[in-house]
Structure 1
Amino acid sequence: MENSSGEESEFSDSEIADYKDKPYQQLRDGTLKVKYSNGILKCPFCAGKKKQNFKYKDLHQHASGVSKGSSNRNAKQKANHLALTLYLENELAHEAETPLKAAAPAAAATVSDKKDLFCWPWTGIVVNVVKEPDTEDDIENTGYWMKKFAKFKPEAIELLAADDANQSAQVLVRFNNDWIGFKNAMVFEKYFEASHHSKKEWSDAESPKDSKIYAWLARANDFELQGAIGDYLRANRELKTVADLDQEAVQTRNKAVVMLASEIDMRNENIDDLQIKFNQKSMSLSRMIEEKDNLHQAFYEETRKMQRLAREHVKRVLDEQEMLNAELEKRKKKLDAWSKELNKREALTEREKQKLDEEKQKNDMQNSSLHMASIEQKKADESVLRLVEEQKREKEEALKKVLELERQLDAKQKLEMEIEELKGKLQVMKHLGDEDDTAVQEQIKKMNDELQAKMEEMDGVEELNQTLVVKERQSNDELQEARKELIKGMQDMLGTRANIGVKRMGDIDLSAIHELTIKKLKERYDAEEAQIKVTELCSLWQDRLKNPDWHPMKVVAFDGAHKEVIDENDQLLKDLKAEWGTGVYDLVVTAYKEMNEYNPSGRYVISELWNFKENRKATLKEVISYILKNVKSLKRKRG
């Protein structure tokens, strides 16, 4: 967000209207988010505050109030909130709250009087079910009645015992206990009313002549009947009005709505808290990542700058030395010529002779100065040799100290064994001897004295051992520092053309890449563009080597152990091999292995002393020997 980006630019209150356009555009293109799920509105410029959920009216009031001036708000915050006010008015005007209308419950069915008492669950009564020879089995089967009344969608069929006197039975049809079931029950009753086989016709006909069934919807008077129907209804049904059921449904629905609203409020509150924490963590993480990137970039730039300055310094010193040597030789030759010329004129007049003497004195002084310069140059060369010899001597002393340490360790182990042996003998003497035996007591005393002497010698060896360990560590640190100085100061002297040189570990060989790919690239591009493409290819893969997220390695079992090897199924490496061949593939894989070995955490190129002949890390002894040879050859060239 803009208010957390770290920019410190400020402007006056008179310029607020001019600076509102940028945040307004960020609101329109979605860079700054206002509307969230479930219709929640939030201020993107006040992300760290606890209150974050707004209605349209409240958010508009908040943005308008901040933009119109508060003593503790700066001009930038006012401009941001002015942009938010315009965005709400122009883009989110449809989010303004409109009064909600309560939905009227739909009428379940058309009922003439809501105070009529019905048997609930809704039940249809079917009478005049006459048993006849051809239908006797069917009317005692509930499946028959379910099929017969299928268009009314009954829920169940209940058969009552038949009247043996007139072979007549009663059937109770139960419908769903909701409003849809009530609607189906009313349609069931209207159907029989339309065919003149309702309760009214059944009551009017004392003994119906036909065998057709009569049916109606059970009400209070049926509930109070004496007989099988009334007994069954009183035992399994309740009397309720439509208004009662309507009120129960409204209460149930309202209760569910209240519970759901409460749960929604709780979840929204949890979401708000999580959103606040998420915003805070995101802002903190963004700042940390930015600071880390800045520090890494600064470190990388400073390292490159120091390396460049070191190379330039060494080159400048060597160039100046060559120039001084050339100037010195030139002046020597010139002075020699003058000396010869002066000798030829020695027979001239006294005045000329005097003049020649003065010239000679001047010439002698210049010769003396040149001689001193030559001596200083010789001292500088000897200083370089002395430094190399001193490093060689320090390494030899370190090796001697390691050998001395090993010798002291052997002596320590030998003393420990002798001490344990004396302790054992002493214990044996104590167990076997008699306390009154004077000879035994003297022997024990002698052995105790010998044991004490061995223990004191052991302490001395231990102290010497610790001293040697400390010195060995110091020597090792000095050798590591010497190695760093050699890498740092001798990069121009040690080249890759010689057997010993400085190698950049994890650096892809641009010249080798060029040699392997230039022919194929020249088939696609002209010569100049092909050179650029080679450089781009090398730079692309060098950046991938520095990426810690790319790890084309896998673990395999080898000789009973596990080791990491290159994953040949890595998609990037497969594409590289397919496009540019095995040679380029091997160069990239070699550079990745070097970086993974020498700098897996930092993942940037580091310099190392290297034995190019044997393709391994060079020892200090090899480097010093090479430097001595080079210094002697340089001296011979200058001489």
Structure 2
Amino acid sequence: MSYSSEDETDISDSELDEYVDRCYVQLQNGDPKVKLSDEVYRCPYCPGKKKLVYQFQDLIQHASDVGKGSQNKDIKHKGKHLGLVKYLKDDVDHDQEDLSSKFTELSLELPPNHGVNKLFVWPWMGILANVDVEGSISKLRNDLINRGFDPVRVRPLKGTFSVVEFKKDWSGFYNAMMFEKEFEVDHRGKKDYSTGSVMEDKLYGWIARDDDYKSKDVIGEYLQKNGDLKTIADLETDEKRKTGLLIANLDETIGKLMMRIDELERKHCASPAASL
């Protein structure tokens, strides 16, 4: 279905309800597309805005704000967003216990190409070091779930290492980055493991990058067999080619992470960090 014929003419306040219903029906028919994955949504009516992808509750809030905002004089723009609110609330199957409480708005502008060419192991993976070889992998995975990292699985390696696999989408990238940052702020990141005094009863963790992939040990061997090296720019290009949609904007994704990381660091400075 196309919006072109509708967008050629204006509507009055009295026609708003009817227009909302028309937009709602179009969304029900899948045009335009709203749901990108189980955890990532887009606003189809705000192209070019800083915030291009949302968590479910955040998108409802955005659509409600635009639809009810008195400062917005564009009746059709308000009507589309009100139709989006109705569609999200009435038609989208969604687990209310999602990641929305952890995601901040994608609103921080960063220098162009910030982090574009950094190589990560994809699918997203994290490295756990100093793992108790006598411990339970299922218990370790549950601990990570309880910390909010949403791992897909945990793979034990030889010695005291394990690999944490995350979802392949952008929510997986977010969780992998927060996994790394939480270890870093507790002084249990990769640098601490490599150069500092390792605490025997503590786990160390980080997201897998190119140096881990190329290492000549059990970590490198596993990563080379089960992943590839990609930049985030590569993955964005792949997503655009596969779907024709801009699933995530790189600078905004990094901005979101930096804002969340700042919040995390403030919390860790205010109170002792919980340990795995």
The alignment's TM-score, normalised by the length of structure 2, stands at 0.50
The alignment's TM-score, normalised by the length of structure 1, stands at 0.23
Select the structure of larger CA radius of gyration: 1
Specify which structure has the bigger relative contact order, considering alpha-carbon pairs within 8 angstroms and separated by 6 or more residues.
Answer: 2
Task: Looking at secondary structure, tell me which structure has more helix per residue.
Answer: 1
